[in-house]
């Protein structure tokens, strides 16, 4: 009740935002003014809630397992616009999967959804703990936290509101499938019942990406007019990283730098940065024949294909305090990832990568450059990567047992 009281207070300024800010108006309109009647179906639903692109991709193996082994339909709710677009691209053609924007934990909208569906299970991915969502769904079905994790920063914050979380975690969530023993201990300390928490591993290891033929990769390299250069792909880069990467790139000979920003609203700033460094560039959407030094990727959903043709890869969100994006994607394509020191989101994976010597840590442009030279000299032992994936698979199967 207290939570929803504060939500009502917040709604007052949101009305003014809706009226006077056209960009935010569209954001709010997409979430608060949805028609959920299309969800009506005789079959029961398994509702999977994700935050953004990362969680949507992460849930792919779990969704495939549900479709393969369960008879229920799937309701996939997504918080961000890019996450929604990714979900639409992946699943809009599948009649058993319905996709909606997450209605920002609005009590009445979640009740409306539940009136339109027969819920069997709610699965919240990683850290998507929304009180109204979990509380209302727990009254009509089972609630499972899948791929659960709690970062160091979140744990310190969550302990301060432990009195609020204790009831939610201890009474409303039926089972916790978490990534590590540390996550297990933290959830229990915050209120989860010990017998309801199990370490099932990280869904990221169930990664099933598209394999590209040698012919397809060669054609793609020619499509971007690489002109025989080595290709340095920097994926999911964040503000503050591109400058460091460009500094490393300028020391290299006969390389093409491919910058794939995490958010496309940074494209114009990237153009300004590249021009200020005296480098020639092209945008992926405007490719034409000719020599150039930097390719700025202004399209979603192509990073993995770029990883597949890369000679060197860097994983963003690690040189600045974001916490890191997927290290597994370049590894899937048997590329040695270079990454920075900010690894909160991929802590356990990064430790394993470094331990097995299938990736490099770098804290500045000089160290990135030095690691690139190491990669040029040493052929990666692909068996190490194959062992890495094989030993950590079938996480979706373990979660499915609890549904």
Question: What DSSP string runs through 288-311?
Answer: -SS--SEEE--STT-HHHHHHH-S
Average pLDDT for residues 50-61, to the nearest whole number? 92
Q: Is the pTM of this model over 0.95?
A: no
Decide which of 243 and 385 is more confident: 243
Contact 83, 77 (CB under 8 A): no
Q: Residue 44 and residue 50: Cα distance in Å, rounded?
A: 19
The 10s digit of each residue's pLDDT in 142-171 is 999 999 999 888 899 888 888 878 889 999
Give all domains of the chain, ordered by start, each with its CATH number: 36-207+394-400 (3.40.50.11720), 214-390 (3.40.50.2000)
191: number of Cβ within 10 Å: 18
What b/e string do you get for 217-248 counting C-beta neighbours within 10 Å, with b at 16 or more? eeebbeebbbeebbbbbbbbbbeebbebbbeb
Residue pLDDT, tens place only, 208-240: 788 999 999 999 999 999 999 999 999 999 999
Q: Give residue 392's pLDDT.
A: 81
Q: Report the pLDDT value the prediction gives residue 27, as an integer from 0 to 100.
A: 92
pLDDT of residue 272: 97
CA dihedral over 123, 127, 129, 130, signed as positive or negative: negative
Q: Return the closest-CA partner of residue 330 out of 318, 348, 312, 345.
A: 312
What confidence category does residue 380 fall into, taking pLDDT thresholds of 50, 70 and 90? low
pLDDT surpassing 90 at residue 5: no
pLDDT at 14: 86
The predicted model gives 49-76 an average pLDDT of: 95
User: What value does the mean pLDDT of the chain take?
Assistant: 94
φ, ψ (nearest 5 deg) of residue 379: -80, 135
> How large a percentage of the chain has pLDDT more than 90?
79
* 58: nearest Cα among 99, 81, 90, 95: 90
């Amino acid at each position: 009740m207290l939570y929803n009281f504060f939500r009502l207070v917040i709604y007052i300024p949101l009305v003014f935002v809706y009226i006077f800010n056209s960009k935010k108006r569209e954001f709010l309109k997409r979430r608060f003014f949805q028609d959920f009647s299309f969800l009506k179906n005789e079959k029961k639903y398994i509702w999977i809630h994700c935050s953004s692109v990362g969680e949507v991709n992460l849930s792919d193996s779990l969704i495939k397992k549900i479709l393969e082994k369960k008879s229920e339909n799937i309701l996939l709710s997504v918080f961000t616009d890019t996450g929604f677009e990714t979900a639409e691209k992946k699943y809009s053609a599948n009649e058993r999967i319905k996709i909606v924007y997450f209605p920002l934990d609005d009590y009445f909208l979640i009740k409306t959804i539940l009136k339109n569906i027969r819920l069997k299970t709610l699965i919240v991915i990683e850290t998507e703990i929304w009180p109204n969502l979990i509380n209302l769904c727990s009254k009509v079905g089972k609630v499972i936290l899948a791929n659960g994790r709690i970062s160091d920063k979140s744990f310190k914050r969550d302990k301060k509101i432990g009195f609020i979380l204790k009831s939610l975690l201890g009474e409303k969530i039926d089972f916790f499938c978490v990534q590590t023993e540390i996550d297990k201990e933290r959830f229990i300390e915050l209120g989860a019942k010990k017998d309801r928490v199990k370490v099932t591993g990280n869904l990221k290891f169930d990664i099933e990406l598209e394999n590209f033929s040698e012919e397809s990769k060669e054609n793609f390299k020619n499509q971007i007019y690489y002109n025989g250069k080595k290709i340095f792909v920097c994926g999911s880069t964040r503000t503050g990283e591109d400058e460091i990467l460009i500094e490393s790139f300028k020391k290299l000979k006969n390389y093409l730098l491919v910058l794939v920003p995490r958010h496309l609203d940074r494209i114009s700033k990237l153009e300004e940065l590249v021009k200020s460094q005296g480098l020639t560039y092209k945008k992926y959407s405007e490719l034409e024949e000719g020599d150039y030094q930097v390719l700025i990727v202004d399209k979603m959903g192509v990073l993995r294909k770029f990883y597949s043709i890369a000679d060197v890869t860097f994983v963003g969100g690690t040189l600045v305090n974001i916490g890191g994006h997927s290290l597994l994607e370049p590894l899937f394509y048997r590329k040695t990832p270079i990454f920075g020191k900010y690894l909160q989101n991929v802590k356990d994976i990064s430790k394993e990568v470094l331990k097995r010597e299938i990736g490099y840590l770098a804290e500045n442009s000089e160290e990135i450059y030095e690691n690139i030279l190491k990669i040029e000299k040493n052929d990666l032992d692909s068996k190490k990567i194959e062992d890495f994936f094989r030993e950590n698979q079938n996480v979706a199967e373990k979660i499915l047992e609890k549904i």
